[in-house]
Amino acid sequence: MLLLYQQHNEWHGTPYRMGGISRSGIDCSAFVQVTFRDLFGIDLPRSTDQQFRTGRKITRAELRSGDLVFFRNGRHVGIYLEGHKFLHASTTRGVMISSLKNTYWSRHFWQAVSVKR
């Protein structure tokens, strides 16, 4: 999990850019793809819907650090940290940490997937 916080520190503030794959701008699925490749040596597909199909569906209660969290029918993805927090590339604020307890994210939570276990 420490690696995920380090990844946040390195990428924090990088703006969101649809289709972006670099520090000048990155979208949510590219950020997940880059993070899993760089930190865990896991090659995930590029798109959110393909990433969803890669892992094993889990319940919200089963979430562990490194699991993927999906929102609004698979259109947004982040990486679960701990304590209801997740790391993602937000469309409005770029790479950041958010809380699943936040009203918006709680209401739009869709599914969780484990790809590391």
Residue numbers annotated as active site: 28, 76, 88
- Coil vs helix vs strand at 116: coil
Check if the beta carbon of residue 8 is closer than 8 Å to that of residue 32.
no
Q: Which of 67, 24, 68, 63 is nearest to 47 (CA)?
A: 68
The count of other CB atoms within 10 Å of the CB of residue 112 is 23
- Coil vs helix vs strand at 8: helix
Check if the beta carbon of residue 46 is closer than 8 Å to that of residue 96.
no
Structure tokens at 18: 């649809």
